[in-house]
Structure 1
Amino acid sequence: MNEDLYLCFIPPLVQLIISAHNKKGSQLTREEVESIRDSGTCIALPADSARSMAEERGYKDFNPERVWDEYLHYLNETT
Structure 2
Amino acid sequence: MTNSDDKLIRMAGQMADFFRSQPGAPAEAVAGHINAFWTPRMRQDFVRHLAEGAEADPIVRDAARFVRLPEQTPARA
The structure with more helix, counted as a fraction of residues: 2
Structure having the higher Rg? 1
The verdict on a shared fold, with TM-score over 0.5 as the criterion, is no
The structure with more strand, counted as a fraction of residues: 1
The alignment's TM-score, normalised by the length of structure 1, stands at: 0.31
The alignment's TM-score, normalised by the length of structure 2, stands at: 0.32
